[in-house]
Structure 1
Amino acid sequence: MSNILVVDDEKDICLFLHHLLSDKGHHVTLCTSRQEFDQAKGNQKYDLAFLDVRLPDGNGLDILKDIRAVQPLCKVVVMTGYSTVKTAVEAIKLGAYDFIEKPFDDIEDIEHLTERLLTDGALPSQDHVHDLAARMGCFIGQNREMNQLFSLAYKFAQKNVTILIEGETGTGKEVLAHFIHEASLRADYPFIGVNCGAISEHLLESELFGHTKGSFTGAAKDRKGYFELADKGTLFLDEIGEASLATQVKLLRVLETGEFMKVGGENVLRSKARLIAASHVDLSKAVTKNTFREDLLYRLDVVKLTIPPLRRRSHDIPLFIEDYLKRHELKLSFTEETLELLKNYSWPGNIRELVNVIKRAAALAEGETERINPEYLPPKITRHIQGALETAAAVSQSPPKKPGFDSFLEQWEWEIREMWKSEDITELQLVLDRMKELESEAIRAFIEKSLRKTVGNRKETAELLGITMRKLRYYLNEKK
């Protein structure tokens, strides 16, 4: 018999879970408020807790933190409605094992989840994640951020929720989407990927939703679109920010109702495909520029997974190269000097660029050597390293940094000027990174200045800055 805690302000939910779990021989403690939880949390040790994220006198995430602190061995399952799924995502990041959506669709799912957590001790381990990734030829490495990313992706794969993947060009957004598909219950159904930026605006709608014969010039017969072809599988929309506003309206309808019509068609069709979207641009900024619909972003941004750029996990580069050479049966090795050069490069093209560098080195070395020296690397890499060393030397001679936005501006301007005056060409990606840093620091500084003026009143601050409360929350929570 296990001790199970249920925290939910809906008494019907509490009674339902009490009967369901008690019949299985478990001892169940019910709490309908934060106050009752505070009284019950220290009475006994709990093996499992079902936690609602919304309570009349408390925040479910705060209760989760309490449980994790007081009873770290207690496994927590978060209960949520659709409107609070994003909160459940935060709960997973804070240590919850899983979440279930209310109203409950299948009682057996709760029974199986309870049994698995109480008998197996946990959801699939990190070994399961790495095993699946290895079977797919998907490299995770030792980087902590990447391991957390794939663990979250694995957990959300079996949930029927929309996922938004963000990351720079070449980071492997489609690889992650395919991993989610293979880890989901839809793995036996099709995975279809489409790059919205590679298809013209006029053809994209037809590609997504299909068309009927004669609906436009060249439509010689009826054609199924990707939503229909994906069936019960997964549809991956890469670079969704490139879709026209008219297409975005139809995408919104599919997400809200599951319904769509072919171009030129009269019949309403239904799609059971799971949607995964991706973008290398910040869709929130696209909303402010009126190039992306805010309501569509709200529907897409249920679970957001951000892939870190390769320069933030450069220590995994030797491991990636070793894995790549082994998978492609290439009898080559990279010298330590070569690996150090690769680890210190900025990789604006990320994993895609690294793969191209490996292929280039293998092609040049074929028939000559099995040891890859720096001479087999593209000149841009060696030039970049030399330029970075000169810039670092120049920066070391600059005045020491002082706190405050004014001093940041002075330092930022000085570094940009040094890049501009340098005889070597500075890679554009480095300039773009510095521009993004300026933007982030400027936003933070102006918000803090306004908050000081309003004595912390966020509503008044948003009005003074001419932005919405949602946008202010985004800048405060995301732009850190």
Structure 2
Amino acid sequence: MAEILIVDDEKEVSTFLSHLLNDKGHSMTICSSGLEFDSNIQKKQFQLAFLDVKLPDRNGLAILKTLKAVQPACKVVVMTGYATIQTAVDAIKFGANDFIEKPFDDIKDIENLTEQILQNENGSNHAEIDKLAQQLNCFIGNNKEMIQVFKLAHKLAQKNIPILIEGETGTGKEILARFIHHASLRKNYPFVGINCGAISENLLESELFGHEKGAFTGATKERKGFFQLAGKGTLFLDEIGEASLTTQVKLLRILETGEFIKVGGEMTEFSLARIIAATHVGLEDAVKNGLFRDDLLYRLDVVKLMIPPLRLRSEDIPLFIEFYLQKEQLNFTFTKEALDCLRFYTWPGNIRELVNVIKRAVAFAEEETTMITADYLPERVRNVSARDSRTNNPSFPAYHHTTFEQFLHNWSEEILKMLYVQKSSDLNKVFEMMNILEAKATQTFIEKALKNTVGNRKKAAEELGITLRKLRYYLNEKK
């Protein structure tokens, strides 16, 4: 038997929960306001509390903070309506164990949740999260923010609500979406992903909703869209901000009613798929610029998960390298110097870029050594700590972490500014600029040749018109 506290100003809800949990042998204390909570919290030690997030005299989050301060061992379930789910998510960040939506759909869910939380002594689901992450080859690491993201994702997976994932390019938004899918009750149904930015505007609507035969030129047969293919599973809309305004209108309708019509069709069809959307840009700014509908954002942004960029969790880089090498069964070790370079680098491409750097280093070191030093890293990464120490020098151009195209653009602007804008030109700076261009161009063409030859240095040297010895010089000695 457990002492359970209910804090809710709706008498029907309190009465319902009281009868339900009394029948299970638990002792109930009911409060309808913040004042009653203040009085009762000093009288008993509670094992579990059900808190409403909206009370007439106090915010539910304030009550949660007080409860956790006075009785930190007490488990908490937050009760919320659809419009206040984000508040419930915030409550989990402040120490709540879970949340349930009102009105309650299934009595069994409340009973099971109550017993699950009471039987779990530390109120943690870390073991379940780690087990699922291992099954999916999903790296979490030790960063507190990343752990919190996956903790929230695991809880939200059980709720039938849309989720918006925000994060820079390469942070792993689709990986998180797959984690949510496999942690949900839909795990035995399909996970279907579509990149809204990779499909032309003319085809996107057809890809999402399907089309009838003859709907447009080239539509020689009927085709199912991604909503139909997902069935009762999960539809992942990556780069949702790239969808046209016309498509956004139809997405809004399906989110509100579940209804859609195929391109060229007349009959209304229904989708049972759960929507997870992702974007690397702020949709609020897109709304202000007239590129995204505010009503669609409201529907998608029921709950938002933010994936931190790699530069803000650089402490996990050595752990990720170990994780990746083990997953790929690669017997290599990175030296401390190499790891230091990787930790200092800003990683504009995030995890995706780090994986590419690891692959490149392994390809260069293969058949030579199992110890990867800084020399096997790209020029933009190696010796980055020394280079960063020069960023206060205004004469040193800060454009190392860019694509080659952007590099050329920035380099040209810098050299033309020296020639036509500045009153005097320092030839030493010109020579330095030329050296930077030479190094960047050399690195880029070598990387292209190695990619074309799948890392075969001998063939790459032949393609570049240089000797193998010269290629090794550029890779291992020239900086």
TM-score scaled by length of structure 2: 0.82
1:427 equivalent among 384, 390, 401: 401
Match of 1:174 in 2: 174
Q: Deviations over 1:387-442 (max 9, x none)?
A: 312115x4xxxxxxxxxxxxxxxxxxxxxxx2xx325644359x9xxxxxxxxxxx
| SS of equivalent residue, structure 2 residue 290 | coil
Structure whose CA Rg is larger: 2
Amino acid at match of 1:337: E
Match of 1:185 in 2: 185
Structure 1 stretches lacking a partner, 5+ long: 395-417, 432-480
CA contact (8 A) 1:387 1:424 kept: no
Amino acid at match of 2:25: G
Match of 1:64 in 2: 64
| SS of equivalent residue, structure 1 residue 378 | coil
CA distance in 1, matches of 2:94, 2:157: 18
Match of 2:451 in 1: none
CA distance in 1, matches of 2:397, 2:19: 76
CA distance in 1, matches of 2:252, 2:150: 27
Structure 1 pair 112–425 and aligned structure 2 pair: CA distance change class (3 A): closer
Cα deviation for residue 32 of structure 1 reads: 1.3
| SS of equivalent residue, structure 1 residue 299 | helix
Q: Deviations over 1:422-473 (max 9, x none)?
A: 25644359x9xxxxxxxxxxxxxxxxxxxxxxxxxxxxxxxxxxxxxxxxxx
- Higher mean displacement: 20-29 or 31-40: 31-40
Match of 2:452 in 1: none
- Higher mean displacement: 125-134 or 46-55: 125-134
Cα deviation for residue 51 of structure 1 reads: 0.9
2:276 pairs with 1:302: no
CA distance in 2, matches of 1:133, 1:176: 10
Structure 1 pair 425–46 and aligned structure 2 pair: CA distance change class (3 A): closer
* 1:138-157 alignment, distance < 5 Å: 138-157=138-157
* 1:21-420 alignment, distance < 5 Å: 21-121=21-121, 125-382=125-382, 384-392=384-392, 394=393, 418=394
Match of 1:441 in 2: none
Amino acid at match of 2:294: E
Amino acid at match of 1:19: H
Matched residue count: 404
CA distance in 2, matches of 1:68, 1:219: 60
CA distance in 2, matches of 1:154, 1:179: 8
| SS of equivalent residue, structure 2 residue 50 | strand
| SS of equivalent residue, structure 2 residue 175 | helix
| SS of equivalent residue, structure 1 residue 316 | helix
CA distance in 2, matches of 1:425, 1:157: 41
CA contact (8 A) 1:97 1:122 kept: no
Q: Deviations over 1:204-223 (max 9, x none)?
A: 11111111111111111111
Structure 1 pair 209–122 and aligned structure 2 pair: CA distance change class (3 A): farther
| SS of equivalent residue, structure 2 residue 346 | coil
Match of 2:463 in 1: none
Match of 1:11 in 2: 11
CA distance in 1, matches of 2:331, 2:258: 50
TM-score scaled by length of structure 1: 0.82
Amino acid at match of 2:401: E
CA distance in 1, matches of 2:374, 2:155: 41
CA distance in 2, matches of 1:188, 1:152: 21
Cα deviation for residue 122 of structure 1 reads: 5.4
Share of identical aligned residues, percent? 63
CA contact (8 A) 2:341 2:383 kept: no
CA distance in 2, matches of 1:134, 1:241: 31
Cα deviation for residue 382 of structure 1 reads: 2.6
CA contact (8 A) 1:167 1:307 kept: yes
| SS of equivalent residue, structure 2 residue 253 | helix
CA contact (8 A) 1:116 1:122 kept: no
Cα deviation for residue 123 of structure 1 reads: 5.1
Amino acid at match of 1:422: F
CA distance in 2, matches of 1:133, 1:254: 31
Q: Deviations over 1:179-231 (max 9, x none)?
A: 11111111111011110000000111111111111111111111111111101
CA distance in 2, matches of 1:351, 1:157: 23
Amino acid at match of 2:115: E
Cα deviation for residue 385 of structure 1 reads: 3.9
CA contact (8 A) 1:5 1:49 kept: yes
CA contact (8 A) 1:143 1:313 kept: yes
Match of 2:460 in 1: none
Cα deviation for residue 124 of structure 1 reads: 5.0
| SS of equivalent residue, structure 1 residue 51 | strand
| SS of equivalent residue, structure 2 residue 262 | coil
Q: Deviations over 1:123-150 (max 9, x none)?
A: 5521221221112111111111111111
Amino acid at match of 1:24: K
